Amino acid sequence: MRLIAVGRMKDRVEHDLFQRYAARLTPRLDLVEIAEGRGAAVEIKRREAQGLLSALPERAFAVALDEGGRTHDSMAFARLVERWMGLARPLCFVIGGAEGLDGSVLARADDTLSLGPMTWPHMLVRGLLAEQLYRARAIASGHPYHRAGRP
């Protein structure tokens, strides 16, 4: 699996949060960082879109992280991840920068994923996604990391 994301992760706390889960994931989650765009918001998104789209392998199954995207509970997400992995296409997740994703990236995406309707900082989204992928894989393999008990 590959995570294609805008910006360079400089903050130690954000780096460690992402690594805590990414390092334990099977299959591995490779991080590809795209340079932040400059200029007006539209230009920033357009330039970042070029970088994001060109980092996608040709046959990639691309999942765009977007607050307006599809939401799932962790059990449903675990089933979805298994389905995506079964497609035998490179599974890639895409995270935008401070201005969000350009429409061209959303148009290319095969699916979208929302972590809820609130806007999260893009560097934090990396850690949140890595944790949910780790949880999904734990659910699929029967590992007790996920406690499903709810009233």
List the alpha helices (DSSP H) in the chain. 12-22, 41-54, 74-85, 103-108, 122-141
Q: In whole angstroms, what is the distance from residue 57 CA to residue 64 CA? A: 14
Peptide bond into 117 cis (omega under 30): no
Residue nearer to ligand SAM on the CB measure, 34 or 66: 66
Residue nearer to ligand SAM on the CB measure, 56 or 125: 125
Binding site for S-adenosyl-L-methionine: residue ranges?
Answer: 65, 96, 115-120
Give me the least distance between CB of 132 and ligand SAM, in Å please. Answer: 10
Residue nearer to ligand SAM on the CB measure, 19 or 114: 114
Q: In whole angstroms, what is the distance from residue 111 CA to residue 73 CA? A: 16
Binding site for ligand SAM (CB under 6 A): 65-67, 95-96, 98, 100-101, 114-116, 118-122, 125
Residue nearer to ligand SAM on the CB measure, 11 or 141: 11
Give me the least distance between CB of 39 and ligand SAM, in Å please. Answer: 16
Burial bucket for residue 45 (CB in 10 Å: 0-12, 13-18, 19+): buried
Give me the least distance between CB of 142 and ligand SAM, in Å please. Answer: 27
Question: What is the identity of the amino acid at 83?
Answer: R
Give me the least distance between CB of 33 and ligand SAM, in Å please. Answer: 14
The one-character DSSP state at 23 is T
